[in-house]
Structure 1
């Protein structure tokens, strides 16, 4: 395995879990409990909004990076909420996926 992949996996392992847990605590304390399907649809919607801004940028529109940043943040938050609602350990899922990507090269 490439040393950079190993390093990336270590960073993911040590940092993603506490971030995901903090999102879970915050979501549980501050918002109504929602099923994973809700968060999946929310994630798709937010990703679509981000993609729409990228399409406009690609076509030469003047879109502020603040808007793009907001949508990217929405995608990240939605992913955290979806993973938590589904019981997905993102750190493990990402490190496992990276291993499979490297193995398939």
Structure 2
């Protein structure tokens, strides 16, 4: 059962690349309002997990629910996003700088 106090619920998530299990039955809950860090060595599955949470990763089992909706669902498109430091659109800007720039181009209030 999904508790409405949970922002993210992952149950038995499996992701494979070829014959390699990148995520093998991962389960976790992240309460709403919680700030967490995701640490680990290169290649351990951090990006794969984040891509699964935003719904752009092909999974091979398990479920990912975000704010009570299946990850990647239409209802989440204007509520959940993901940006990485390494793949900034403009390499001379940080992720925050890119967000500010494109927000200003699109007329988004700075409070958002």
Q: Same fold (TM over 0.5)?
A: no
TM-score with structure 2 length normalisation? 0.28
Which one has a larger percent helix, Structure 1 or Structure 2? 1
Which one has a larger percent strand, Structure 1 or Structure 2? 2
